[in-house]
């Protein structure tokens, strides 16, 4: 049985850990509220912009003029893996890294795959595995703003247009609620023509376009893609804080359970030590009395 000093040191250590997890939970909750507000405000805008783009594009003479919808033989793939910069958020990062690794090993087997990590955890993971990595944008979460995120989106878009990559895929966590995040593997480029066609069939909106339909499409498509990219970042950011809040809440509960066991052990150890001392005193007194 452990002595009193060891048990007391463990109790103090668990108490300190519990205080840290409580503080981290509160910080994550505050950040989650802001991140959740951003993504809930972004979703309607993103959906409406996509709908307008679908309607305008499908009503045009053809989609051949949209360079971002060009389909070609896939030889080079860019996988955009979105994780966090820090850990202590449960399986948040692990799920994305597993999904990205699975896609590379199975869906894109035999192809030339490059990873664009967004988040320090993704960068370290793929760098350690000697995967082709573009390390220019992994610190994007130091400033989660559209002006900062658009540089990574523009890189992926330009690389697709100039033929460096034939396909661009996003792998990220979609925010459902505080306790639930769903890993998404979405095709970013080329744009899904099926969605454009479906949008056109359901739309009866007649747009008056100035200066021209071609000009509007040329301006609207890049903006829509950047918004879609930024939305994925916001989804991941909200998911991260939700996962960390849940993980720290569970850690705090576990620390509380461990404290109960340790305090019970401390009391039992202390009682045993007192009992032993009393027995020693009694045995010593009996020995002296026997003389």
> Is-contact 234 42, C-beta < 8 A?
yes
Q: What is the Cα–Cα distance from 283 to 116, expressed in whole angstroms?
A: 75
Planar angle of CA 220, 226, 230, nearest 5 degrees: 140
* 194 Cβ neighbours under 8 A, 6+ residues apart: none
Mark whether 89 is an active-site residue: yes
Tell me which residue of 229, 138, 149, 158 sits closest to 187, measured CA to CA: 229
11 C-beta neighbours (distance < 10 Å), count:
16
Helices 213-290 and 92-102, interaxial angle, to 10°? 130
3-state secondary structure of 126: helix
- Distance from the first to the final alpha carbon of the chain: 35
Q: Which of 24, 28, 79, 89 is catalytic?
A: 89
Q: Bridge partners of 177?
A: 180
Q: What is the dihedral of CA 86, 91, 96, 102, to 10 degrees?
A: 140
Give backbone dihedrals phi and psi of 168, rounded to 5 degrees, phi first: -125, 130
* DSSP symbol at 140: G
Residues belonging to the active site: 89
């Amino acid at each position: 049985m452990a002595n009193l000093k060891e048990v007391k040191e463990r109790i103090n250590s668990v108490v300190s850990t519990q205080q840290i997890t409580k503080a981290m939970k509160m910080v994550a909750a505050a950040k989650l509220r802001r991140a959740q507000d951003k993504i809930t405000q972004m979703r309607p805008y993103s959906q409406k912009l996509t709908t307008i783009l679908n309607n305008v594009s499908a009503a045009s003479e053809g989609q051949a003029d949209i360079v971002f919808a060009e389909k070609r033989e896939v030889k080079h793939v860019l996988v955009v893996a979105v994780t966090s910069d820090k850990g202590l958020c449960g399986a948040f990062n692990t799920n994305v890294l597993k999904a990205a690794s699975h896609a590379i090993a199975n869906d894109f087997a035999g192809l030339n795959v490059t990873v664009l990590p967004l988040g320090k955890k993704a960068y370290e993971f793929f760098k350690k595995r000697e995967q082709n990595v573009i390390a220019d944008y992994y610190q994007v979460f130091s400033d989660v703003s559209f002006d900062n995120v658009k540089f990574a989106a523009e890189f992926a878009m330009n690389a697709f247009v100039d033929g460096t990559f034939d396909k661009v895929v996003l792998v990220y966590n979609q925010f459902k609620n505080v306790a639930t995040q769903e890993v998404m593997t979405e095709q970013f480029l080329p744009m899904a023509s099926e969605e454009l066609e479906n949008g056109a069939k359901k739309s009866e909106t007649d747009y008056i376009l100035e200066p021209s339909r071609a000009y509007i499409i040329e301006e609207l498509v890049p903006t829509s893609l950047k918004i879609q990219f930024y939305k994925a970042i916001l989804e991941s950011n909200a998911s991260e804080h939700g996962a960390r809040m849940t993980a720290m809440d569970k850690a705090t509960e576990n620390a509380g359970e461990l404290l109960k066991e340790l305090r019970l052990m401390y009391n039992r150890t202390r009682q045993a030590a007192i009992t032993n001392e009393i027995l020693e005193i009694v045995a010593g007194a009996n020995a002296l009395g026997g003389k």
